[in-house]
Amino acid sequence: MHLAGRWLFVLCIAALLTALVPFPLKGQPAPAAQTAPVTTQPTSQAYSLPPDKLAKAIAFNRILNIFDIVSGLWGMAFLWLLLATRAAAGLEAWVQRLLRGRWLQGLLFFAVLIALLNVADLPLNLFDHLVSLHYGISVQGWGSWFADHAKALGIALAGAPVLLLFNWMVRIAPRRFWLWIWVATVPLMVLVTFGEPLLEPIFDKFEPLTKNHPALVTELEKVVLRTGTHIPPDRMFLMMASAKSSGLNAYVSGLGATKRIVVWDTTAGRIPDDEILFIFGHESGHYVLNHIPKMLTGFAIALFFVFWACARFAAGLARRYGDRWGLNVQEDGTAALATRAGFVVLLFAVSVAAFVLEPAGNTFSRHFEHQADVYGQEAIHGLVPDPQKTAVSAFDHLGEAWLEDPDPSPLIEFWLYNHPSVKNRANFAAHYDPWANGGRGEFFDR
């Protein structure tokens, strides 16, 4: 997520979206209870790469891991710089001189702030794309890439009223503003989830999956029938991802009327349909197992305490550094947060919390992703000849396409991965057979 988008939705907790992130992202499994004996300690690793690709994967992932950490630190550092250099206070003074209406001043202040955050993030995003091009993960030209960033900035700028609303809450309820913001954030998280499919066509081209892959649609309908996800063929789409990426992906997004399945054109026809059924079964598991409402509920509860702590932390920062930052603090740091420049202090506090709590959010996500892996493998039982082989092959293709390290550091996995690593997912899938010796699955009897 770009910095502009990150700070727009940081109060909605970006980690919410890990429940909806497409299949290839990373993480670590949490063991699930089984009703039949299942071997979960493999004697050999199911996912591996040939020597040439292994060296590339190790180098690529080392760069990505460093980049992820640096990106998080830079986000906090830039907000601190805006305060320490009095740029935030200067921006507030400028909009006050330029415009008379308080609401217009606020809209301009937060629009400029979002733009500044986007510009600050641009060098890191340029580097990220350059690395992806070098390793063959991205095939997107620079013109298209810059166009996507311009579109993302336009969408982020539309969030200026949201930040203005939160700033108003701080002004009218200086002691309980964190509670007001929390109440407003919960429905915003639901809205983001619901509206995701409506924004996707801004960046990529979609067409009905039945147009070029009718046989695949027929097979997917079998999984839909078995899982009860109620996604009709007219809500199954092919995304033209090949113009931008060489990776593999298929996913389900949206809620209610916006729920749909999307298969990348790099996936359809490139890997066997059986493996796409498994990926779809995995994504269906998120819906059938109510992972989205559970994730929303979990983060809503966590945000209650996070916002309370951030409000206290930000008030303490304002009291200690407010005069140095040009916030005109007298005695009450909380009152300083009601200013527009003071609101940047609150954003900084939330950014620190988001960075520190990233492992907790990722652990939460990895648990659900492991459950979805189990559900997906069980969902295709009886629909494909060998669910174990199909799942392992899907993970092998997935890891090779995205150059995932076959043996990531446990610490990196714990801190950065919001999906189980391909290594752990493939190893589990290779040895998961709950129907052996007359047993039954965790989610399906047969």
One DSSP character per residue, 152-164 reads HHHHHHTTHHHHH
pTM: 0.85
C-alpha dist (Å) from residue 318 to 47, 110, 176: 51, 19, 17
In angstroms, the CA 243 to CA 240 distance is 7
Secondary structure element (H or E) that encloses residue 256, with its range: none
Q: How many residues does the chain have?
A: 446
Which amino acid, one-letter code, is at 239? M
SS3 for 180-199 is HHHHHHHHHHHHHHHHHHHH
Q: In terms of Cα–Cα distance, which of 352, 347, 294, 366 is closest to 29?
A: 366
| Per-residue pLDDT in tens (0 to 9) along the chain, 446 residues | 333 333 333 334 333 332 223 333 333 333 333 333 333 334 467 899 999 899 999 999 999 999 999 999 999 999 999 999 999 999 999 999 999 999 999 999 999 999 999 999 999 999 999 999 999 999 999 999 999 999 999 999 999 999 999 999 999 998 899 999 999 999 998 899 899 999 999 999 999 999 999 999 999 999 999 999 888 999 999 999 999 999 999 888 888 889 898 999 999 988 999 999 999 999 999 989 989 889 889 999 999 999 999 999 999 999 899 889 998 766 566 778 989 999 999 999 999 999 999 999 999 999 999 999 999 999 999 999 999 999 999 999 999 999 999 999 999 999 999 999 999 999 999 999 998 877 888 999 77
CA-closest candidate to residue 333, choices 353, 311, 349: 311
Q: What is the pLDDT of residue 12?
A: 40
Q: What is the pLDDT of residue 390?
A: 96
pLDDT digits (tens, 9 = 90+) for 221-230: 999 999 998 8
**3-class DSSP assignment, residue 36:** coil
Q: How many CA atoms lie within 13 A of 44 on its CB side?
A: 3
Nearest-angstrom CA–CA distance, 75 and 54:
31
Q: b or e along 254-264 (b: 16 or more beta carbons within 10 Å of the residue's beta carbon)?
A: bbeeebbbbbb
Token pair belonging to 269: 């026809």
The pLDDT, as a whole number, for residue 138 is 97
Exposure string of 323-332, with b = 16+ CB inside 10 Å and e = fewer, is: eebbbebeee
Q: Cα–Cα distance between 228 and 140 in angstroms, integer?
A: 37
How many angstroms separate the CA atoms of 39 and 72, rounded? 38
